[in-house]
């Protein structure tokens, strides 16, 4: 493991006002989600339906995928299957090569981030323009998105202004979001009009009809897909749902959970290519079938990528998306990524307070905090935990299972904290970092209880 | 074995025991006293506008005036006048000049201000997105309470493309400040015929 959440978070929180701003901004989004959810008396029922439809889908996934493929082919869509990120990237590259295409636009797709498609294509001399405003900003800055719905949420408008001044020649120091968005609109409209191939993600794929739905607020997926001669939609296989009528449940849940909007501006239903257009769907596994076989973790595949768990998470809000060093950050990322690479992502399930807020806001009722706790156990038993933490846990386990020893150490500890505070309050103690140590009481609760119980009786 | 077979076999091996699909009981779902009022309120909260009109006469006049202004205005509603069928084959760089488009919608949704538009209603798939200003027309009787009734009314796979549009294009990607007019239409006005 080269980078760890705690180390990256330390860098993020070094700028205290910015950390506070990040925390408050995301909490504001969470509050908007609450308002939208409370506007529907049936909200909890809706979550239950969302959860049950996804459970059903996972229990019959192989059949639904076959049904989807059959119907998509009948609609004139070409269907591809990729076992992993490499195969996915090769399939996309093959289509691009076949058409000798140079100009490509891409709307937001977390799957292509997961597969590092942009880097792969760039390596082969093909430039991809990300068209979601937030993604374009971070692409200019050569950074990954820090949030799956709000890719540039780690940046202030001054940062965006400087980036646009450099790349789009906007006025230096003009930080007006309206002005900056207009500049991006003009810049990207040119890109759309010129492009020959559009890549989009998929929010939902419908087995019954062989079509798929893409949701955006900006309209960038549509601008790209309806202009280009070739449209490639990339999806993880868990995006499937059984029937079109089930979209009602998910479209009601998605935007309300994500940003507090009643629905995204555009919910586009693609079923057939337009005349003379080629439409491709790439269905990707990349570890998902393995996750499906892990009983404790399989229902992480129900995720609809709304990011409600990010916005509510006290750790995410105060550590920023980049500290998770993966395409999907936040609590859901911390239960998905150990499946992809347990060693590299062994730190992530520990980047949580296990407070459970993520599970409470999840629109499809994934037990995120329980899975974080379960991953910790798997990671420790597989030996992917730092020696210091392992020794500490072993020591604590010994102490807590020996009451006499526990009482003795407690007594010594309380006494030494009072007599030699510097022994505890020093840099060698990680608990002292950015924390005040509590004042040590003279007696333990047990001593107090025994004394008082005797007095009473 | 191909990737397809590998994936499908791995899924079949690992998926849990089959469980039932839930029944969506529409009696458990919110209903609005006045669907139009709800539609208008929500639409205006997300940057769109709604206006109740008694018939298409007003719009006919407006379309004529718009066309005379010299701007590139597209009509896709037969009841309003000649349909601009020539845009079906226009390339994107030409469509990019569309100032305003008049399009008929199929269904309006009270809970979220969205309007469903089929491909056949927009002449060219790009039009409702690439135009600067979007005019949608729906019938009041076609406003339903929620998405559940909308999907009940619609066969979304009837045509190659269809979309729910809720207000103008927008973004809040710069410091969460809401800006109307990201890539798509800068304004969206929905006329509702009584």
B176 assigned to some structural domain: yes
Answer whether B98 touches A (CB < 8 Å): no
Handedness of CA A209, A212, A218, A220 (dihedral sign): negative
Which chain B residues are Cβ-neighbours of A252 within 8 angstroms?
A: 111-112, 146-147
How do strand B114-118 and strand B107-109 relate by DSSP bridges?
Answer: antiparallel
Would you state the pLDDT for residue B66? Answer: 96
A434 assigned to some structural domain: yes
Query: What's the pLDDT tens digit per position in A378-424?
Result: 999 999 988 888 888 889 999 999 999 999 999 998 888 888 888 77
The answer to whether the CB of A203 falls within 8 A of the CB of A214 is: yes
Q: Which residue has the higher pLDDT, A455 or A404?
A: A404
Angstrom CA distances, A18 to A14, A24, A427, stand at 9, 10, 25
Would you state the pLDDT for residue A426? Answer: 81
Co-location of A351 and A409 in the same domain = no
Q: Tokens 């390596």 identify what position?
A: A123
A294 assigned to some structural domain: no
Number of domains in chain B: 1
If we measure between CA atoms, which residue out of A44, A174, A288, A137 comes closest to residue B10?
A288
Half-sphere exposure of A242 (CA within 13 A, CB side): 20
Co-location of A121 and A251 in the same domain = yes
Tell me the average pLDDT of chain A.
95
Band (B111; pLDDT cuts 50, 70, 90): very high
If we measure between CA atoms, which residue out of A217, A259, A282 comes closest to residue A363?
A259
Among B173, B175, B180, most A C-beta atoms within 10 A, so best to mutate, is B173
The answer to whether the CB of B128 falls within 8 A of the CB of B74 is: no
Domain that holds residue B33: 24-193
A115 assigned to some structural domain: yes
Q: What is the mean pLDDT of residues A442-457?
A: 83
Band (A456; pLDDT cuts 50, 70, 90): low
Which chain A residues are Cβ-neighbours of B113 within 8 angstroms?
A: 262-263
A298 assigned to some structural domain: no
Query: What's the pLDDT tens digit per position in A69-91?
Result: 999 999 999 999 999 999 999 99
Query: What's the pLDDT tens digit per position in A305-356?
Result: 999 999 999 999 999 999 999 999 999 999 999 999 999 999 999 999 999 9
pLDDT exceeds cutoff 90 at B114: yes
A229 assigned to some structural domain: yes
Co-location of A112 and A207 in the same domain = yes
B17 assigned to some structural domain: no
Would you state the pLDDT for residue A371? Answer: 98
Co-location of A134 and A206 in the same domain = yes
Within 10 angstroms of residue B20's Cβ, the number of other Cβ atoms is: 9
Q: What is the mean pLDDT of residues A259-270?
A: 98
Q: What's the full length of chain A, in residues?
A: 457
Co-location of A28 and A142 in the same domain = no
Phi, psi at residue B180, to the nearest 5°?
-85, 135
Q: What CATH number does residue B159 fall under?
A: 3.40.50.10420
Co-location of A59 and A165 in the same domain = yes
| Cα–Cα distance, A3 to A10 (Å, whole number) | 12
Distance from CA of A32 to the nearest CA of B (A): 12
Which chain B residues are Cβ-neighbours of A247 within 8 angstroms?
A: 147, 151, 156
Domain that holds residue A436: 402-456
Query: What's the pLDDT tens digit per position in A425-448?
Result: 888 887 788 788 888 888 899 989
User: C-alpha A145: how far from its chain's center?
Assistant: 10
Band (A1; pLDDT cuts 50, 70, 90): very low
The answer to whether the CB of A164 falls within 8 A of the CB of A173 is: no
Q: Which of the listed residues A289, A318, A336 is the one where a domain comes to its end?
A: A289
Co-location of A51 and A35 in the same domain = no
Q: What is the mean pLDDT of residues B122-126?
A: 97
B161 assigned to some structural domain: yes
Would you state the pLDDT for residue A417? Answer: 86
| Cα–Cα distance, B188 to A370 (Å, whole number) | 44
B5 assigned to some structural domain: no
Co-location of A196 and A73 in the same domain = yes
Q: DSSP for A174-225?
A: ---HHHHHHHHHHHHHHHHHH-SEEEE--SEEETTTTEEEEEESS-HHHHHH
- Between A and B, how many CB-CB pairs are < 8 A? 251
A396 assigned to some structural domain: no
Contact A137 B12 (CB under 8 A): no
Number of domains in chain A: 3
Answer whether B11 touches A (CB < 8 Å): yes
Co-location of A243 and A94 in the same domain = yes
Q: What is the pTM of this model?
A: 0.95
């Amino acid at each position: 493991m080269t980078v760890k959440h705690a180390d990256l978070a330390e860098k993020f929180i070094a700028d205290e006002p910015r950390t506070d701003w990040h925390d408050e901004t995301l909490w504001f989004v969470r509050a908007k989600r609450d308002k939208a959810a409370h506007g529907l008396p049936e909200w909890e029922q809706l979550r239950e339906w969302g959860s049950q439809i996804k459970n059903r889908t996972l229990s019959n996934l192989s059949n639904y995928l076959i049904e989807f493929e059959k119907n998509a082919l009948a609609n004139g869509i070409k269907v591809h299957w990729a076992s992993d990120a490499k195969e996915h990237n090769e399939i996309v590259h093959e289509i691009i090569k076949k058409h000798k295409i140079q100009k490509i636009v891409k709307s937001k797709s977390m799957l292509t981030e997961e597969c590092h498609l942009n880097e792969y294509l760039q390596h082969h001399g093909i430039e991809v323009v990300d068209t979601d405003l937030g993604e374009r900003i971070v692409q200019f800055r050569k950074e990954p998105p820090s949030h799956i719905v709000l890719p540039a949420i780690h940046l202030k408008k001054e940062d965006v202004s400087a980036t646009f001044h450099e790349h789009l020649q906007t006025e230096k120091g003009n930080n007006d979001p309206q002005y900056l968005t207009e500049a991006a609109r003009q810049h990207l409209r040119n890109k759309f009009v010129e492009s020959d191939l559009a890549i989009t993600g998929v929010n939902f794929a419908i087995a019954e009809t062989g079509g798929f739905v893409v949701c955006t607020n900006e309209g960038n997926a549509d601008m790209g897909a309806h202009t280009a001669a070739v449209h490639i939609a990339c999806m993880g296989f868990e995006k499937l749902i059984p029937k079109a009528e089930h979209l009602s449940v998910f479209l009601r849940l998605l935007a309300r959970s994500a940003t507090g909007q009643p629905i995204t501006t555009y919910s586009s239903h693609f079923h057939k290519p337009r005349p003379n257009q080629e439409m491709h769907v790439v269905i990707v596994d990349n570890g998902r079938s393995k996750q499906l076989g892990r009983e404790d973790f399989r229902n992480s595949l129900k995720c609809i990528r709304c990011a409600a768990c990010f916005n509510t998470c006290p750790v995410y809000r105060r550590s920023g998306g980049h500290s998770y060093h993966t395409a999907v950050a936040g609590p859901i990322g911390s239960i998905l990524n150990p499946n992809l690479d347990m060693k590299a992502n062994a730190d992530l399930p520990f980047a949580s307070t296990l407070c459970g807020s993520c599970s409470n806001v999840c629109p499809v009722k994934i037990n995120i905090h329980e899975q974080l706790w379960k991953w910790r156990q798997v990671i420790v038993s597989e030996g992917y935990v730092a020696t210091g933490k392992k020794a500490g846990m072993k020591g604590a386990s010994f102490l807590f299972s020996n009451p006499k020893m526990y009482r003795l150490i407690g007594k010594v500890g309380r006494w030494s904290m009072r007599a030699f505070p510097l022994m505890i309050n020093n840099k060698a103690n990680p608990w002292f970092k950015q924390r005040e140590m509590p004042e040590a009481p003279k007696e333990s609760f047990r001593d107090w209880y025994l004394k008082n119980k005797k007095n009473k009786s | 074995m191909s990737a397809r077979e590998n994936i499908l076999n791995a899924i079949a091996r690992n998926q849990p025991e089959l469980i039932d699909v839930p029944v969506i009981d529409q009696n458990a779902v919110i209903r609005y006293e006045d669907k139009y009022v709800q539609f208008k309120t929500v639409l205006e909260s997300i940057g769109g506008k709604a206006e109740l009109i008694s018939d298409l006469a007003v719009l006919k006049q407006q379309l004529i005036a718009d066309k005379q202004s010299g701007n590139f205005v597209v009509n896709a509603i037969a009841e309003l006048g000649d349909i601009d069928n020539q845009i079906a084959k226009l390339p994107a760089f030409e469509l990019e000049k569309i100032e305003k488009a008049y399009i008929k919608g199929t269904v309006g949704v009270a809970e979220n201000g969205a309007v469903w538009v089929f491909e056949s209603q927009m002449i060219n798939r790009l039009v409702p997105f690439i135009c600067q200003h979007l005019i949608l027309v729906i019938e009041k009787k076609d406003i339903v309470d929620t998405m559940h009734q909308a999907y009940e009314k619609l066969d979304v796979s009837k045509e190659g493309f269809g979309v729910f549009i809720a207000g103008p294009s927008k973004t809040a990607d710069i410091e969460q400040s809401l800006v109307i007019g990201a890539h798509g239409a800068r304004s969206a006005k929905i006329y509702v015929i009584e």
